[in-house]
Amino acid sequence: MNLRKKAIYLLLAWSLLVGCNQGEKAKLTFAVGGAPNELVYWEKVIGEFERQSNIRVEMLRKPSNTDDQRQSLIISLKAGMSDPDVFLMDVAWVGLFADADWLEPLGGDFDPTPFFQTVIQSVDTVNGKLIALPVYMDGGVLYYRKDLLKQAGLYGPPKTWGELLASANKVQEQMRTTNPNFYGFVWTGAQYEGLITVFMEFAGSKGGFIRDGSGIHLTSPENQSALSFMHDLIWKDKISPPNTYTTMREEEVRTYFQEGKALYERNWPYAWSLHEAEDSKVRGKTGVAPVPGPQKTTSASTLGGFHIGVSVFSDMKGAAKEFVRFVTSFAAQKEMVLTLGWNPGRQDLYRDEEVLKKAPHLQELTTVFQNSRPRPLVPYYSQISAIAQKQINAVLADKITPQMGLAEADREIEALLSRYQLR
């Protein structure tokens, strides 16, 4: 082969190699998990974005389990991998990802004003920089039987936990004559993350996890009162089932209420559409309201939901930000509400007539999300939560007193922080 032919072959090989590399770089990767119908919908979102932007997107399907989703993302980010470029994060992970410097600031051209400002400030802004945006909002709510309250001469949902106890006692006594398995109030008391979310709500806006410099503790009058109240709902007042602290999680709670066996239910907004399904025994009888507080002015829903962010290691940061802009746009978020029934991250959609016709309960959720608060946004939150879950559940199981449980949780948290040299 002469030199000229060799040069041509080398040039062709180099062109093919460069072309392949450019093709790979032109493909944006988006990591997302969820139920099968949600992943199907995300494929439609990606298709529309590709048509409008001419940017190719590959969806990296993650497990439906959120713990598995988090671990999968952590492995990629710890390794500094360029993929995924953009991903969804549970609100509880944002602090971990931000502390590790894994999130690329979105930049000053993003307008956060259409979103819930309490969420933007408490979750998505770090050191004055916008690092994520909410896609799907969640928060604890109180479901109640409108018909049973009316029959008992009670109008409107309770504003305080004391009001809930009084009304639950009254209705439970009436219902037990024909339904011996009826309870006044069902909630998530098993030992898992759902227990932490309700504990924060029982404690109200002045309780929960208390930040003290670099430390976190639980011992406080508000928390002791809340934990005593939670214990007594099961053992003294007996308006909550005895299996509350063993098996009651979201679906167990929802099913119990939906079978017509409870007056009140603390759950997440997802349960609304299921309660209104054709085969539901509480269809047309269910109301939704903010969770009560220790006092009328101290109600505080625990914030949940998913946020979208861009990897600091992405090699397509510009395209990734365009995808974030598209996913959080008014049109895209509205379609998510109408198709999936999700609670949008944008507050301006909670006033949209078409949205409210499809999901009238969003009117109540506006107040819920405005008064919501996140769990501690710290990188070691999962370990702190595990400690708190164990001690709070032991109190509910009547194994230790509230004072003992909170004190032991504080000791274990202090040891954890000292081990990580955070104290």
CA distances from 313 to 76, 101, 107 (A): 10, 10, 16
In this predicted structure, what is the pLDDT of residue 174? 96
Q: Give the count of beta carbons closer than 10 Å to the beta carbon of residue 200.
A: 25
Judgement on whether residues 45 and 101 belong to the same structural domain of the protein: yes
Structural domain total, the chain: 2
Q: Where do we find the tokens 């509480």?
A: 282
Asked if residue 247 belongs to a domain, the reply is yes
Angle at 256 between CA 236 and CA 166, to 5 degrees: 40
Residues 321, 253 share a domain: no
Token pair for residue 73?
């993302």
Residue 409, in any domain of the structure: yes
63, part of any domain: yes
- What count of other Cβ atoms lies within 10 Å of the Cβ of residue 75? 10
Q: Which domain holds residue 258?
A: 141-300+380-419
Read off φ and ψ for residue 308, nearest 5 degrees. Answer: -115, 135
Other beta carbons less than 10 A from residue 52's beta carbon: 10
Residue 13 has a pLDDT of 45
> In terms of domains, do 150 and 287 share one?
yes
Residue 2 falls inside a structural domain: no
User: β-pairing, 86-90 with 303-310?
Assistant: antiparallel
pLDDT of the residue at 14:
44
Tell me the whole-structure pTM to 2 decimals.
0.85
In a domain, residue 9? The reply is: no
Q: Are residues 146 and 277 in the same domain?
A: yes
Is residue 186 in a domain?
Answer: yes
- Which of helix, strand or coil describes residue 358? helix
pLDDT along the chain (423 residues), means of 10: 47 44 67 89 95 96 85 95 95 91 93 94 94 95 97 94 98 96 98 96 95 88 98 98 97 97 96 94 96 93 96 97 97 93 93 92 89 89 95 98 98 91 61
217 in Cβ contact with 417 (< 8 Å): no
Same domain, 86 and 184: no
CB atoms within 10 A of CB 6: 10
DSSP per-residue codes, 279-292 = T-TTTTTEEEEEPP
CA distance 248 to 238: 15
Radius of gyration, CA atoms only, the chain? 25
Let me know: does 134 contact 342? Beta carbons within 8 Å: no
- The C-alpha atoms of residue 387 and residue 407 are separated, in whole angstroms, by 11
Based on the fold, state whether residues 399 and 286 are members of the same structural domain. yes
Give residue 306's pLDDT: 95
Specify whether 279 is located in the same domain as 349.
no
Q: What is the pLDDT of residue 140?
A: 96
Looking at the fold, whether 134 and 145 belong to one and the same domain comes out as: no
User: Is 308 found in the same domain as 288?
Assistant: no
| Domain assignment present for 13 | no
Q: Is residue 208 part of a domain?
A: yes
Indicate the residue type of 187: W
Do 109 and 227 lie in one domain? The reply is no
Tell whether 269 and 401 lie within a shared domain. yes
Q: Are residues 199 and 219 in the same domain?
A: yes
CATH number assigned to the domain comprising residue 287: 3.40.190.10
